[in-house]
Amino acid sequence: MDTGEFVATFLAGIISGVLIAVGGEMLNRWLNRLKMNVFAYQQILSNTFTRYSVALGFGITIEQGKALDNAYARFNNTVYPWWENGKTKVKTQLLVGEDPSWIFPYYMALEYIEDISKQQNAKNIIKKGDPSNHAVLFSVYEFDPDPNKNALKNKIFERIIVLPKNIKAFNIGINQLLSKISIRLIAEGIERKMEYTGEVRIKGLSIGKLENGVPSLDTSSINFIVYHD
């Protein structure tokens, strides 16, 4: 091997070694990259004969990567507090493999209306089957993100649903877009933007027990679905 061939072979070996090292580091970083999962969940707040209400929330877990300190979630450009062990906190530590930490942006409620004739000026009335004089008011609000207020703001959905006679259980499809959603996770140690986007839709509701149009709202469930982009 002459000098030129030796130098060429030597340089090729160096370049190959560098590419292998860089490729290995990139593969290692990809395999150990931060992965976030988001789960939707309803927390029952009241469950009585005349009223059923839930908080609709989203849980965030870290499935892969490293622990995150001082983490907070920005939901649709608003920072919502975490709910942990029945208390709120602005920031938290997210550990790999731990149970979800939760934010609750929405409040949903069903309320019994004894006499629909008193609601003649109400909008968005839905009737199904042979209607009775009874109904439920289905409403959705945003929670106020200020934990000191513990209040609702902005009603974003409302329907009055007239209940039918002579049916022992009731189901109705609605398929209403509630909101586009963007959940951005911000914390120490994040090296790239972590964002979950999609939409949440109300699919319908069910009432497990009716008697002459009078509902037992403690047998209710609100059905929704979250689509991820």
116 and 20 in a common domain:
no
217 and 153 in a common domain:
yes
- Host H or E run for residue 4: helix 3-31
First to last CA, the chain: 59
21 and 46 in a common domain:
no
Q: Judge whether 124 and 138 are in contact, CB under 8 Å.
A: no
User: What is the extent of the structural domain holding 22?
Assistant: 1-31
pLDDT at 131: 86
Question: Checking phi first, is residue 84 left (phi over 0); if not, alpha (psi -120 to 50) or beta?
Answer: beta
Structure tokens at 218: 């403690």
pLDDT at 149: 74
Q: How far apart are CA 163 and CA 196, in angstroms?
A: 37
pLDDT at 91: 92
173 and 209 in a common domain:
yes
Give the E-state strand segments of 48-193 in sequence order.
51-64, 68-75, 78-80, 82-84, 87-89, 92-94, 101-113, 125-127, 131-143, 152-164, 170-188
Q: Count how many domains the chain has.
A: 2
Residue 13: is it exposed, middle or buried by C-beta count within 10 angstroms (0-12/13-18/19+)?
exposed
Q: What is the dihedral of CA 223, 100, 69, 32, to 10 degrees?
A: -100
13 and 88 in a common domain:
no
Q: Judge whether 92 and 33 are in contact, CB under 8 Å.
A: no
Q: If the chain, 229 residues long, is cut into consecutive pieces of 10 residues, what is the mean pLDDT of each piece?
A: 57 52 41 72 94 94 82 93 86 86 94 84 69 91 82 89 90 91 88 88 94 94 91
